[in-house]
Structure 1
């Protein structure tokens, strides 16, 4: 047993004599301790010269879980921008309707006054700056008594002796004239014209303005006839 121990100690000392195993080696007296140290030295020596691929532990094979593709929602910046829509109304431009409206609003001189009342015709012809004296002017489907082109103002003339009428007759005349004058006001303004009314009596002017506030500021007493 002593020879075996000596042989083992010899092998162990030879192995431990290798330069790479000298550092940190501690020899302790006694067979058990020397045997344990020899075994560790042999294991270390074997590991040193072993193939690295053989020493690497085999990787553990695990099943790869199947993954479903995540739907890619486009970011707000990547979302397609809708094309701008045009206006709901038709484009502005010359159309058949606009041409018709323009011709409808174009003033057309008439060679005579409707009605044939000499006093009425004289008052209409003498309106200051009347562009077409001697006849009416046709605009927007209506014959007006006069037109001042410089101010684009259409005129209607009323020559009633209003202050001589009875109260009942005054009421009838005012009711009839207010309805007609408001209609003529609408026709004139629809074509971009101003509108004025000439009367011969202050009482007539006040009665028309009191009947409808929309006529206030539009009625003049004609001091020229």
Structure 2
């Protein structure tokens, strides 16, 4: 019985010793203070800048095509000072020449100080042949071969055109414009002045 106890104590002691040796081998001497594990500084992470997507131009198909534009006209006289100046129909609007008579258009374009050379101008519902902003004058141009006609035909022609010229004069004056009639012959000038002295008739020696 004593031998058995001694043998048991030896076995238990040997097992305890093996456990202590294994602990020391794994963790070192338990009586010593283990240094703290080395820590490395964490690198600073800078925020990545956010870039906005580049604005894309619309495709050529989406871009509107500019239409033909008339000349830019400066204001004609003081604006906002009278009722006629505020009327939209009195604002001069450049429009294309009426086709079919190149000689007529050339004479109109060459009027001295023509502010819309190459264009007609729409004022008060009437398409005039020229506009002189410097004198605020609207023009109607006549390029008929008046002097080549017999006297009776000349008289008939004046009577035929006179009502329209008077109407155009009233339309121009209603919007504060002067009105002039351009002709190519002295005979035509004299006939119109005789028929209506209130008309301003000018001999167009430039065409």
Return the TM-score normalized by structure 2. Answer: 0.58
After TM superposition, list the pairs within 5 Å mapping 1:24-173 onto structure 2: 102-110=87-95, 112-173=96-157
Per-residue deviation, residues 72-108 of structure 1 (Å, max 9, x unmatched):
xxxxxxxxxxxxxxxxxxxxxx9xxx59961010000
**Structure 1 gaps, min length 5:** 1-93
Match of 2:173 in 1: 189
Deviation at 1:162, TM superposition (A): 0.9
Residue aligned with 1:170, SS: helix
Shift of 1:135: 1.5
2:67 corresponds to which residue?
none
Partner Cα separation in structure 2 for residue 146 and residue 222 of structure 1: 13
Shift of residue 163, structure 1, vs aligned partner = 1.1
Q: How many residues align?
A: 126
Quick one: structure 1 residues 211 and 115, their matched pair in 2 at CA, closer, same or farther if it must change by over 3 Å?
farther
CA distance in 2: counterparts of 1:99 and 1:219, whole angstroms: 25
CA shift digits 1:37-88 (9 cap, x unpaired): xxxxxxxxxxxxxxxxxxxxxxxxxxxxxxxxxxxxxxxxxxxxxxxxxxxx
1:222 paired with 2:207, answer no
Does the 8 A contact of 2:104 with 2:142 survive in 1?
yes
Shift in Å at residue 115 of structure 1? Answer: 4.3
In the alignment, structure 2 segments of 5+ residues that lack a partner are 1-79
Structure of higher CA gyration radius: 1
Q: TM-score, normalised by structure 1?
A: 0.53
Counting helix residues as a fraction of each chain, which structure ranks higher?
Answer: 1
Match of 1:213 in 2: 197
User: 1:101/1:178 Cα in 2 relative to 1: closer, same or farther (>3 Å)?
Assistant: farther
Larger RCO, structures 1/2 (Cα 8 Å, 6+ apart): 2
